Structure 1
Amino acid sequence: MTDNVQAPAPQVWPSLWANDAPALIRFLVEAFGFEEVVTYRDGDVVQHCQLDWPPGGGIMLGSARDDPGNPWRLTPGTFGAYVVSDDIDALHARAAKAGAEILREPSGTDYGSRDFMARDPEGNLWSFGTYRGEKR
């Protein structure tokens, strides 16, 4: 590491594969507000992309490819995630404007969260809510 810059603390980083990874990256940045940190490409094939979620954590994604020897083969469109956000209504408006398929409009839950659910163009499910989990 240089310039006293440290990597983030250990976290869970879900990952997914996409049929059109470059398009999905653009969508996730525009619709949901992920931040593209790094993308390694081989032509149109995304070998690895890190998208950070501004409040913390993020996801890793890459292009689906026929690689029978790779034990990390993931089926595009089968991913689902719950993502914490403080401003559900603004995020919902952003996602809807960018063309996300809204599956559930913003609403309250019986455990005190405000949530909405959307599907991205690859078919992945995204639930955004204010619930941060219980204390350990």
Structure 2
Amino acid sequence: MKIPEQYRNTVIPHIMVDGAADAIAFYTAAFGASELFRLDGDAGRIVHAEISVCGATLMLGDADAPFATPDRSRPSVALHVYVPDVDGLTARAVDAGAELLSPPADMPYGARQSMLRDPFGHIWILLTPTTA
């Protein structure tokens, strides 16, 4: 079996939320995400969906055991994504309802970076390379 290109050489984040349809709408408004796939379940729940954020694939679905939506006080994972314009996308995400944890700043490792918490408790680190 050939592994699809978007899944090769990567660990694919698969996040669980309470309200996956709302999360997809938020990620579309905040990050310009495009929905790639959706498998609907009962009562409007999403069993599995995939979206693209600046070319990066993210899987998500409504949280069912053994999964839960993250603990907003201490999430254990951050989602890093390289974007063309960290300043513009950070502003867009905040306008859509993300909480700004650290504004865009040039980092010593050659990237401009910001950190946000989405309304579902996930931490996003947006980066734009500043060196060639």
Same fold (TM over 0.5): yes
Which residue number in structure 2 is paired with residue 96 of structure 1? 94
Specify which structure has the higher proportion of helix: 2
2:126 pairs with one of 107, 125, 128? 128
Residue 50 of structure 1 contacts residue 59 of structure 1 at CA under 8 Å; is this kept in 2? yes
Which residue number in structure 2 is paired with residue 8 of structure 1? 5
Residues paired across the two proteins, number: 119
Matched residue of 2:121: which SS? coil
Deviation readout 1:27-82 (Å, 9 max, x if unpaired):
1111112211111111311000000123x33110011124xxxxxx3331244211
Residue 11 of structure 1 contacts residue 57 of structure 1 at CA under 8 Å; is this kept in 2? no
Structure 2 residue 56 is matched with structure 1 residue 63: no
Which residue number in structure 2 is paired with residue 70 of structure 1? none
Say what the alpha-carbon RMSD is for the aligned residues.
1.8
The runs of 5 or more residues in structure 2 that have no matched partner are none
Structure 2 residue 69 is matched with structure 1 residue 76: yes
d(CA) in 1 for partners of 2:57 and 2:88? 19
Instruction: Classify 1:37/1:11 alpha carbon distance in 2 versus 1 (closer, same or farther; 3 Å).
Output: farther
- Give runs of ≥4 in structure 1 deviating > 4 Å: none
Q: Identity of paired residues, percent?
A: 31
TM-score by length of structure 1 reads 0.79
Q: Who wins on radius of gyration, i.e. which is larger?
A: 1
d(CA) in 1 for partners of 2:111 and 2:86? 10
Letter of the structure 2 residue corresponding to residue 29 of structure 1: T
Specify which structure has the higher proportion of strand: 2
Matched residue of 1:90: which SS? helix
TM-score by length of structure 2 reads 0.81
d(CA) in 1 for partners of 2:98 and 2:78? 14
Which residue number in structure 1 is paired with residue 20 of structure 2? 21
